[in-house]
Amino acid sequence: MLKRTLLTALAASGMLAFAASAQAAYLQLGTSNVSNATTTLSGSTVGSELVVKNSNGVSTNAFGLYGLLTATSPTVTVGAVRGANNATNARGYGVWGSQAGSGSGVYGFTPSGRGVWGNSTSGIGVRGSSSTGTGVYGTHAATTGTNPGVRGDTGSTAANAAGVYGLVSSSSPGANSAGVLGVNEGTGYDGVGVYGSQAGKGAGVYGTSAGTGVIGASSGYLRAGVYGTNPSGDGVRGYGDEGVAGYGGTDGVYGSGGLFGNGVRGVGGDGPGIYGTSDRTAIVGHVQSAAPYAGVWGKNDSSGFGVLAESKSGDAISATSASATGSGIYAEETGASGRAGWFQGSVYISGGCTGCAGAALKIDHPLDPAHKYLQHSTVVSPQMKDIYDGLVTTDAKGFATVTMPRWFQAVNRTFRYQLTIIGTGGWNARVVKEIAHNRFTIQTDTSAVKVSWQVTGIRHDRYANAHPVQVVVAKAKSDQGKYLYPELYGKPKTETIGYRKAPMLPDSPSQKH
């Protein structure tokens, strides 16, 4: 009875007593209290050891529990409210905050420091988890400034250390799920969804996968799914079965290089350095600088092809030049015994062929085909001259008519004749009727004489009339003082017409990263 009366009196007077390190500290409710000693509340209750409730939901200063550190310049790391969990396993929390609706379980605020700070020597400093929402959410509410909504830092120098780490833990994730997702809701050209920066020579953004390491998509017209820029190195660099793969409605891969850089550079092992596929143009190279720079440049350090082209139904290579002095295709032989061009099969030339004289015939030598060639030179003329020849035998009266093809006179004019008697019969042969209706007549002084004949004609077909041979032609202004064969006149090779200085091909980049 006495004990019950004492407790009732304490409650009525608003006094609670707690044991505290050999002295008593008293907490009086409803007013301010001062104590310089630790107050301990111990127990083993199944629920909360101490419950503080506040039903006020209209005041912004209403708190269930409020801890205040009044020192304005503390010299050590201190906390207004601190929760500690002595568990040595992975269970339990130092501080637990919950909210029954869609608010925040834990809220931290500071004018310029860290709103919420988590620290761990080997585990996770701050962890957020949600069944259907966002595990950790950070926001930069101001419309100015460059501070991030979420920031991760690491001071580690170990390999694979990460400032921010995102993980999709499912082994069967849905389409387009991402360990780290960056979204920029800007409707203009400014801003990026994910931005990576590296202060040295490493990678700003690095992705690795058994599939695609980095994938970017854009629905904007003439915009890039992945955009990389580097004033002195590679804007985008990829390694893999396909180092960089691009798919686009306009350009699959578009690269722009600086003064001495490359728009697109590809390095392949056993596969191609650059591979393009398209319903139209697979790879386009564009350059605005003068020679020796090129829109597309291929280099092979071994015995293979610098550029390899193949087509199943069209032209493997199509080249055009709008320059009055340039060429659709320019090829130069720089080796001791190489060739500027090699064609395996027929060659069609619709226009003239300058410099085609020389060894026009080259075959395996009939008597020593394994070790020698047989070469013949062409026959040239200041006119478009055709040569026809044959054998004919005169009849019993000493006459023979030679019939030419039906198109003969449609192609030729101004005929020349040469007759040679073969054998011992007869001494004279002459043309008694010149060519008319595509035939001419020969007469010998005796019958049955075998005659070798040759006729030449000057072409007068429409192409020949439209493109007559100009025997002496002045060199173009840009070719004045230059030569087709400068070495024959004691001049250096650089004075060759159409000469281009051999370009300095860039060294192959290292594949280490």
- Segments of 144-209 assigned E as strands: none
Instruction: Kindly report, residue by residue over 483-507, the tens digit of the pLDDT.
Output: 988 999 999 989 988 887 766 655 5
Instruction: Kindly report, residue by residue over 31-52, the tens digit of the pLDDT.
Output: 877 777 777 778 788 777 788 8
φ/ψ of 114, rounded to 5, equals: -110, 125
Q: Looking at residue 236, what is its pLDDT?
A: 73
SS3 state at 387: strand
Greater confidence, 70 or 133? Answer: 70
- Domain range summary for the chain, segments of one domain joined by +: 1-41, 203-311, 385-466
> Given pLDDT bands bounded at 50, 70 and 90, which one contains residue 102?
confident
Domain 385-466 has CATH 3.30.450: no
What single-letter DSSP state applies at residue 280? S
SS3 state at 24: strand
Six-digit token string for 269:
């092992």
Q: Looking at residue 49, what is its pLDDT?
A: 73
Distance CA 425, CA 448 (A): 8
Q: Looking at residue 248, what is its pLDDT?
A: 67
Q: Is the pLDDT of residue 508 over 60?
A: no
pTM: 0.48
Instruction: Kindly report, residue by residue over 150-189, the tens digit of the pLDDT.
Output: 888 888 888 888 888 888 888 888 887 887 887 888 777 7
Nearest Cα residue to 443 out of 430, 456, 452, 457: 430
Residue 484 and residue 496 in contact, taking contact as beta carbons nearer than 8 Å: yes
Q: Is the pLDDT of residue 135 over 80?
A: no
Q: Looking at residue 19, what is its pLDDT?
A: 43
Size (the chain), residues: 513
Instruction: Kindly report, residue by residue over 330-382, the tens digit of the pLDDT.
Output: 777 777 666 778 787 888 777 777 766 555 678 899 999 999 988 888 888 88
